[in-house]
Amino acid sequence: MPSVPALLSRAIRTTAFVSPRAAGRLAYRTFFSTEPRMRVHARDAATHEAAHTGSLTLGSRSVTTYEWGAGPRTVLLLHGWRGRVSQFAPLVRELVSEGFRVVSFDAPAHGSSAGGPTDVRDWVEAATRLHGIHGPFDALVGHSFGAFAALTAARTTVPTPAVVAIAGAAGPIAFVDEFTRDFRLDERTAAHMNALFRARLGVDEAELTARYDAAQHPLPESTALLVVHDRADRRMPDADSLRLHAAHDGRSRLLRTEGFGHTRILQADAVLDAVIEHVQGAGRRAGVQSGSAR
């Protein structure tokens, strides 16, 4: 029996024979769909349930927030599209054991948060609000779409000495292009979908790059970057992560894993160790910069 993505891909391509514009609208709705919601995996349940939970209101929606630990240094975690905070459970345990406080949230229409249309602006707004409550953050750590959101936040409203981008991309076009390939969209359907995508964010092509592409418009010089990607990642190939790393030459470290794919990479010991090392190093760098400023 064909999978749901296969059926949707077939429906979009069939519609394109009649109306590429209608097919573009269907592709656009599919691209922004957040269903089905991910459940908390049994292996992550204890850590998830140990969090102190709260809420933020974004527009009319209630967003669930999470906090672990009580250390003086704080890290913000951003999950990916159709993901949830509980995926970070192994990293949460490592960070707390190293004396960090960990803050995160389930984005709108994800995890335990209220539903409704959402996009990267909600991730950035939630990060900005949490920065005002719990910040400054010693690091932002994002997975997949959350890595793109973390990069955007760090470039705009959430200054931080360190960013970790795991299985992510430098900007939104990589996600759109991967969707286009996965669903085998024809050129006209893809063009209509892209136009709707830009209209949703209220930008033209140039503004999309300026606001959201962290390779074309890198992180501040004071922000160190760790890029992590698996060579076998089928959901988000590593080309855009390599572009991101190259754009931050001299202040970016690249870790390429083998055999973990897109989601199990969050459980890999080498990844957990690298993130801890990067975040701890960021704290030391921030201390040196603060001292030299005096």
Residues 197 and 69 in one domain: no
- Range(s) of the domain holding residue 58: 51-170+216-294
| Inter-axis angle of helices 145-156 and 120-134, nearest 10 | 60
- Looking at 161, 182, 212, the residue that finishes a domain is 212
pTM: 0.92
Q: Is 274 helix (H, G, I), strand (E, B) or coil?
A: helix
Going from the C-alpha of 283 to that of each of 124, 138, 162, 193, 226, the distances in angstroms are 22, 6, 9, 42, 14
pLDDT in tens, 97-140: 999 999 999 999 999 999 889 999 999 999 999 999 999 999 99
* Confidence bin at 3 (pLDDT 50/70/90): very low
- Where do we find the tokens 């074309």? 216
Spatial CA neighbour of 227 closest among 147, 155, 165: 165
44, part of any domain: no
98, part of any domain: yes
Whether residue 175 contacts residue 236, with contact meaning beta carbons closer than 8 Å, is answered with yes
pLDDT in tens, 241-279: 999 999 998 899 999 999 999 999 999 999 999 999 999
Residues 223 and 190 in one domain: no
Report H helices in the chain: 4-18, 20-31, 45-49, 89-97, 120-134, 145-156, 172-182, 187-201, 205-212, 239-247, 269-293
pLDDT in tens, 147-156: 999 999 999 9
Spatial CA neighbour of 178 closest among 212, 204, 144: 144
102, part of any domain: yes
Spatial CA neighbour of 275 closest among 227, 240, 232: 227
- Tell me how many domains the chain contains: 2
Residues 189 and 102 in one domain: no
- Looking at 187, 212, 237, the residue that finishes a domain is 212
